[in-house]
Amino acid sequence: MPGENGVGSGGLPAGLPSRAAYLLAFGSVVLAGVFGGIIGYGIVDVGATSTDSTPRLLGTLVGAAGGAVGVGIIAVLVLRAMAEWKRRPRP
């Protein structure tokens, strides 16, 4: 039961999303980073004419970072929305 200042019994603010929601968001960011890296590598590999691996590495890193950042932004927005939905109105 939340206290007077909105803090629950565990010391955390009342109305936060569940731990499963946080773990699902973290897993989705990691998975998006992996897939973004694969896509970045594939795009550079198709367009690369040299045998040097530096462009492929950079494509992998840029793709992974782009995918992870994009999904991370969405995950934060979803977790904030979940917290707002769970918040009880002030009397």
Split into its structural domains, the chain has a count of 1
pLDDT of residue 51: 86
Does residue 76 sit within a domain? yes
pTM, to two decimals: 0.77
Measured in residues, the chain has a length of 91
Backbone angles phi, psi at 18, to 5 degrees: -70, 165
Q: What is the span of the domain harbouring residue 72?
A: 19-85
pLDDT in tens, 20-30: 999 999 999 99
Grade residue 1 by pLDDT with cuts at 50, 70 and 90: very low
Residues 40-74 have pLDDT tens digits of 999 999 988 888 889 999 999 999 999 999 999 99
- Above 60 in pLDDT, residue 87? yes
Burial of residue 9 (CB within 10 Å: 0-12, 13-18, 19+) is: exposed
